[in-house]
Amino acid sequence: MNRFKSLQVIEQEGRYSMAIVERPMDELPAGEVLIRVHYSSVNYKDALSATGNKGVTRRYPHTPGVDAAGVVVESAVGDFQAGDEVLVTGFDLGMNTSGGFSEYIRVPAAWVLLLPPELSMKDSMSYGTAGFTAGLSVAALLKSGIIPASGSVAVSGATGGVGSIAIAILKRLGFSVAAISSKTDAQAFLSRIGADEIISRTEMEDSSSKFLLKPRFAAAIDTVGGRVLATLLKSLHYGGVVTACGMVNGPEVPTSVFPFILKGVQLIGVDSVEMPLQPRNSIWKHLATDWKPETLQEQVKEITLEQVPEAIQTILDGGMQGRVLVRISN
Ligand X SMILES: NC(=O)c1ccc[n+]([C@@H]2O[C@H](COP(=O)([O-])OP(=O)(O)OC[C@H]3O[C@@H](n4cnc5c(N)ncnc54)[C@H](OP(=O)(O)O)[C@@H]3O)[C@@H](O)[C@H]2O)c1
Residues that bind ligand X (CB under 6 A): 43-45, 129-130, 133, 157-163, 181-183, 201, 223-224, 228, 245-249, 270-273, 315, 318, 320
H or E stretch covering 120: none
In terms of CB distance, is 52 or 318 closer to ligand X? 318
- Residue 209 burial class via C-beta count within 10 angstroms: exposed 0-12, middle 13-18, buried 19 and up: exposed
CB of 55 to ligand X, least distance (A): 11
In terms of CB distance, is 23 or 201 closer to ligand X? 201
In terms of CB distance, is 72 or 90 closer to ligand X? 90
In terms of CB distance, is 24 or 251 closer to ligand X? 251
| Rg of the chain on CA atoms, in Å | 20
CB of 250 to ligand X, least distance (A): 8
Q: Which residue type, as a one-letter code, is found at position 119?
A: L
Residue nearest to ligand X (CB): 160
In terms of CB distance, is 265 or 315 closer to ligand X? 315
CB of 133 to ligand X, least distance (A): 4
Cβ contact 42:129 at 8 Å = no
- Give 279's contacts (C-beta < 8 A, 6+ positions apart): none
Q: Can you say whether the dihedral through the CA atoms of 288, 291, 270, 182 is positive or negative?
A: positive
CB of 193 to ligand X, least distance (A): 12
Q: What are the C-alpha distances in Å from 326 to residues 14, 161, 311? A: 27, 14, 10
CB of 301 to ligand X, least distance (A): 12
Cβ contact 220:156 at 8 Å = yes
